[in-house]
Amino acid sequence: MTKAGVTRRGLIKGAASVAIVLAAAKGGQVFLSSSPAEDRNQRDYSKGLSEHEANALRRMVECLFPYQGLDEGVYQLVVDGVSDTQGVEQVGQLLINGVKQLDKAADGSIWLELPEGRQVASLKAIESTEFFQLMLNASIHTLHSNKALWELIGYQGSSIQFGGYIHRGFNDIDWLPEQAS
Amino acid sequence: MTRFDLSDASVVVVIGSGAGGGTLANELAQKGIKVVCLEAGRRLSLADIVNDEPVMFKRMSWLDPRKGEGQMHPQFPSWTCKTVGGTTMHWEGQCPRFQEHELKAKSTYGDVSDSSFIDWPVGIQELEPYYHKAEDKMGVTGKNGRPFLPGNNNFKVMEAGAKAVGYKDIDTQHMAINSVVRDGRPSCQQIGFCNSGCAISAKWSTLYTEVPKAEATGNFELRPESMVARIHHDDSGRATGVDYYDQHGVLHHQKARAVCVAGNAIETARLLLNSKSEMFPNGLANSSDQVGRNYMTHFTICVISVMPKPVNFHRGTQMAGVVRDEMGNDESRGFWGGYSINPVPFPPEFLAKHLEYGAWGEELTATMEKYDHLAGLMMMGEDPPQANNRVTLDPEAKDQHGMSIPVVRYTDHPNTTKMKSHALRQAKAIHAALGAEKSYEIMTLPATHNLGTARMSEDPTQGVCNQWGQTHDIKNLFVSDGSLFSSSGCANPTLTIVALAMRQAEFIASNLKQQTI
């Protein structure tokens, strides 16, 4: 049978950030988090982050979601996008102070140079802070709407342009006990 | 394109273009009655429907301010739609009928404390012919010779696990999703984004069924981006017309022969309350004080499990499946009323947020890395009406048009708490029977079923409408959506809304002809 000849408009990129109804950064149990992170062509430290701060934040995202085999560039996207978060006052300052706080707690070292176990422990200690929740929500959103991550974990994304799953394994499971029809 | 004058008092105004409003409007238009349908949302085309949950969420959802209290999310109590087609754009397509005893909820369940149960003023015998008509209209699978949809991987996991724990009544559910080409629309291609809109129109939605069919009669005019602010009445208490804001915020007044409110249960109650007047100081048609009260939803809770081998639960129709064994009334389980078990998938971002609130790090990431091994179940159960589960108007906050915003207050009845525990246990057992390595519970989701806020009743002091959805107080004012439900049963409401709208259309048409309304 003929497929419906539907032209699919591409994903709308760069949609202006819609006024946020759901205050994602406040860490409430919202259903969907903040506006889609726009694809960014360049890293931009001009938002007020130094290279050290950006590195620390990227490492923080890696600790939040330590995906095996996920390119560092995907974690960087979270850092690139988080300083654009709407609805959070003085986002840039919040991030800078957050890194400062982590470094301060590193007892003479800097947080980036701690072994992983201690990095994670430091993060656990600041879980209830606005800084941590901002980074967590940004990570949840940006990492998990990223196509490289999807490929890593086996989520196949948009399917209409491939004709759905009707010929692409929608019912191909082969390990269940035999069912009487 | 048919256009009616604002001053044309012979038109029936239908507020809302979803399952209730869209169906009613089309049925009336088919019978030669002139209808103006005022829809708050925009009219999308099929090309506007994309396989992208966040994009479609913003494009279709009702995001005007609302407040939630009790167990409701404070800013987002319910996920309904603001678009032509209403929540039929977002729904998953499940079409079970109510069971006979669910319509006789008070007689069956008895005097349940802390509930405001009544029986419906119609029984299953009266509804049956309209269920049949609605099923044919919507192309419901497994009825009247239409084949069931095939089961996807997630369904097969549910089926195998359910059989292993002893369940018997399992199939891919009666769905308003084409299993064959019919009604000028394609069959399901197992695209897997049903609740973000069906991009090929295989899933029934009034946007591309009732609305264009109504337009083809020449008796119907749809005005999208028209937000009704008030329903007017005359000194005799008859509805005379409505005020509405267009997309530029300009206020218009449309005269009407009769007014039918189908804004879904939150907005319908809100509009009736906002239409209060000297004659109706407690809200329009609210002499009973029941407008907004008896708000019901169905609990919707999920179990997501990591299975030993791949499932790929994102592939295919999202919720084509049901285990019916727990839907009956069996008080030996420790609660009255029943619940259904259904397959359900979720995309990665949703799981990262909701599998375990606040979680992060190695353990959650390890689960997410096994995305293609995940299986999911959603359980949905009967919700008793409670007088203080209700929609009211916020005393201060107003929306962009200066209208008081709705506040939805809801807390679980103790029976619901018991039913949820049972459902979780059973769902986990289904997955465990197949070797699930780990199971998560998702207990908090916004309400998608919204019912009861202008309910039907025999006794005019106990509800807002009679068995025809005609308000007790105003003969030419009707309610045409899920607000009518006198009980919630454990059936997804859309099929019943459509059946009631078809029946109501006959009543309105014959009464208009005889000039008795």
Query: Is A128 near chain B, with CB under 8 Å?
Result: no
10 Å Cβ neighbour count for B310?
18
B172 within a domain of the structure (yes/no): yes
Burial (Cβ within 10 Å: 0-12, 13-18, ≥19) of residue B458: middle
Is B438 in contact with B355 (CB distance < 8 Å)?
A: no
Residues 142-181 of A with CB under 8 A from B: 143-145, 149-150, 152-160, 163-166, 168-173, 175-177, 179
B5 within a domain of the structure (yes/no): no
How do beta strands B404-410 and B67-70 pair?
parallel
Phi and psi at B141, nearest 5°, equal: -70, 155
Size of interface A-B (CB pairs under 8 A): 193
Amino acid identity at B156: K
Tell me the CA distances in angstroms from B176 to A74, B12, B451, one per residue in order.
40, 28, 20
pLDDT in tens, B108-141: 998 888 999 999 999 999 999 999 999 999 999 9
Answer yes or no: do A173 and B156 touch at CB < 8 A: yes
User: Quick one: how many helices (H) and strands (E) in chain B?
Assistant: 12, 17
Tell me the CA distances in angstroms from B397 to B23, B267, B272, one per residue in order.
33, 15, 17
B6 within a domain of the structure (yes/no): no
Amino acid identity at A76: Q
Amino acid identity at B240: T
Judged against a pLDDT cut of 90, whether residue A26 lies above it is answered with: no
How do beta strands B170-171 and B322-323 pair?
antiparallel
Judged against a pLDDT cut of 80, whether residue A10 lies above it is answered with: no
Give me the residue from A29, A63, A171 closest to B156, CB to CB.
A171
Amino acid identity at B470: Q
- Dist CA B455 CA B386 (whole Å): 12
Residues 74-113 of A with CB under 8 A from B: none
Q: What is the pLDDT of residue B231?
A: 98
Give this prediction's pTM: 0.93
- Dist CA B175 CA B156 (whole Å): 17
- Dist CA B397 CA B386 (whole Å): 25
- Dist CA B16 CA B18 (whole Å): 6
Q: What percent of chain B has a predicted confidence (pLDDT) above 70? A: 100
Q: What is the pLDDT of residue A129?
A: 97
Rg for chain A, CA atoms, rounded: 20
d(CA A84, nearest CA chain B) in Å: 18
**Mean pLDDT (whole number) for B191-199:** 98
- Dist CA B428 CA B377 (whole Å): 9
Cβ-Cβ contacts under 8 Å, A141 against chain B: 349
Look at residue B98 and give its three-state secondary structure: coil
Q: What is the pLDDT of residue A78?
A: 96
Q: With cut-offs at 50, 70 and 90, classify the pLDDT of residue A18.
A: very low
**Mean pLDDT (whole number) for B396-416:** 97
B3 within a domain of the structure (yes/no): no
Look at residue B483 and give its three-state secondary structure: helix
Q: What is the pLDDT of residue B29?
A: 98
Cα angle B138, B142, B144 (rounded to 5 degrees) comes to: 70
- Dist CA B361 CA A65 (whole Å): 5
> Quick one: which of B103, B319, B290, B102 has its CA closest to B198?
B319
Judged against a pLDDT cut of 50, whether residue B318 lies above it is answered with: yes
Is B95 in contact with B118 (CB distance < 8 Å)?
A: no
- Dist CA B16 CA B27 (whole Å): 14
Domain span at residue B305 reads 12-513
Q: What is the pLDDT of residue B91?
A: 98
Say how many residues make up chain B.
517
Q: What is the pLDDT of residue A40?
A: 39
Q: With cut-offs at 50, 70 and 90, classify the pLDDT of residue B199.
A: very high
Q: What is the DSSP string of B400-464?
A: TTSPEEEEEEE---HHHHHHHHHHHHHHHHHHHTTT-SEEEEE----B---B-TT-B-SSTTT-S
Cβ-Cβ contacts under 8 Å, B314 against chain A: 155-156
Considering chain B, what is the average pLDDT of its residues? Answer: 97
Both structure tokens of B196: 């973000």
d(CA B450, nearest CA chain A) in Å: 17
- Dist CA B60 CA B83 (whole Å): 6
Q: With cut-offs at 50, 70 and 90, classify the pLDDT of residue A180.
A: low
B29 within a domain of the structure (yes/no): yes
Q: With cut-offs at 50, 70 and 90, classify the pLDDT of residue A107.
A: confident
Spell A136-172 as b/e; 16+ CB within 10 A means b. bbbbbbbbbbbeebbebbbbbbbbbeeebbbebbbbe
Residues 6+ apart with CB under 8 A from B122: B103, B456, B467
Cβ-Cβ contacts under 8 Å, A163 against chain B: 189
Torsion sign over Cα A142, A147, A150, A155 = positive
- Dist CA B311 CA B3 (whole Å): 52
Answer yes or no: do A176 and B46 touch at CB < 8 A: no
Is B162 in contact with B434 (CB distance < 8 Å)?
A: no
Look at residue B504 and give its three-state secondary structure: helix
Q: With cut-offs at 50, 70 and 90, classify the pLDDT of residue A49.
A: confident
pLDDT in tens, B439-456: 999 998 888 999 999 999
Give me the residue from A1, A160, A169 closest to B51, CB to CB.
A160
Q: Residue B216 belongs to a domain with what CATH number?
A: 3.50.50.60
B7 within a domain of the structure (yes/no): no
Distance of CA A19 to the CA centre of its chain: 20
* Tally of domains within chain B: 1
B4 within a domain of the structure (yes/no): no
Q: Tell me which H or E stretch contains B328.
A: none
Phi and psi at B67, nearest 5°, equal: -120, 150
Q: With cut-offs at 50, 70 and 90, classify the pLDDT of residue A86.
A: confident
Q: What is the pLDDT of residue A47?
A: 61
User: The complex's ipTM?
Assistant: 0.94
B269 within a domain of the structure (yes/no): yes
Answer yes or no: do B186 and A3 touch at CB < 8 A: yes
Judged against a pLDDT cut of 90, whether residue B324 lies above it is answered with: yes
Q: What is the DSSP string of B41-88?
A: SB---GGG--S-HHHHHHHHB--S--EEEETS-SS--B--B-BTTGGG
Residues 6-45 of A with CB under 8 A from B: 6-9, 11-12, 15, 18, 21-23, 27-33, 36
d(CA B240, nearest CA chain A) in Å: 36
Query: Is A67 near chain B, with CB under 8 Å?
Result: yes
In B300-371, alpha helices (H):
348-354, 362-369
**Which of B45, B49, B51 to mutate: most A Cβ within 10 Å?**
B51
Answer yes or no: do A8 and B314 touch at CB < 8 A: no
Give me the residue from B47, B51, B364 closest to A159, CB to CB.
B51
